[in-house]
Amino acid sequence: MKNKLISQTAEVFNSIEKWNTFNELVNIRNDIEYNYFKKAKEPILNYYYNKPSEKWFCEPWGDKNIDLKWYLKDFGINSLSIAIGWRFELHLRLDDLETFDTEKISELLKTSKYGKILTAFDRIDRQFEPNMKAMEYRNYNFGSVNDGNLFPTELSWYIANRTDDFLSQLTTKIDRFISNEEITDLIYEINNLAKNNASTQQKI
């Protein structure tokens, strides 16, 4: 495939203007990809702002142009939360390792009761790390040969050009956590149980 593409370049770039344009685009490819990813933020935020949750809140985090978190209001953005980051991987994430006992959270997630939280993922590609309790790689489907494991460059094009399709897939994944009362209650409980030096135990 590579050699075939190379052999075709003389026909494709049959003028110096086309060749120069190609090189200019190569030089800014990462900027184009990043701009495509940024196009997802506003429709996602609008979707969740238009259907507010009593317990959950959504806001940017990390790379605030791209990354978003859904966290329980009673515990804050750095508690055990649902996040999209690193070019739209799906995470069950903990960022406050002082307030919350990360090892205890991992142990609780391994039990039959709290392990139900993990069943809200379509699949799990990494798990039980200090900050990342579970992660699903870019598991989206657009009729590509790479469906289920999309590289950032390819996913960025789909986000920019098939935004509604992407939004539908992403919100379905997120809603399995935040619109499911049982999963919400389990995440609430696990945050509460893992909170260090809590003077009082919050109840759902």
2-6, 169-173, 187-191: segment of lowest average pLDDT? 2-6
Report whether pLDDT(203) > 60: no
Helix, strand, coil percentages, rounded to 5, for the chain: 50, 15, 40
The tens digit of pLDDT for each residue in 69-118 reads: 999 999 999 999 999 999 999 999 999 999 999 999 999 999 999 999 99
| Torsional sign, CA 93, 99, 104, 108 | negative
26-35, 86-95, 122-131: segment of lowest average pLDDT? 26-35
Predicted local confidence at residue 200, as pLDDT: 39
40 — pLDDT class (breaks 50, 70, 90): very high
CA distances from 122 to 76, 127, 168, 170, 172 (A): 26, 14, 15, 12, 11
Report how far residue 22's alpha carbon sits from residue 27's, in angstroms, rounded to the nearest whole number: 9
Report how far residue 54's alpha carbon sits from residue 76's, in angstroms, rounded to the nearest whole number: 14
Q: Greater confidence, 145 or 12? A: 145
CA-based max dimension of the chain: 73
Report whether pLDDT(169) > 90: yes
In a 3-state reduction of DSSP, which class is residue 151? coil
Token pair of 189, please? Answer: 């409980």
Report whether pLDDT(3) > 80: no
Q: Greater confidence, 114 or 23? A: 114
Predicted local confidence at residue 50, as pLDDT: 92
- The structure's pTM equals 0.87
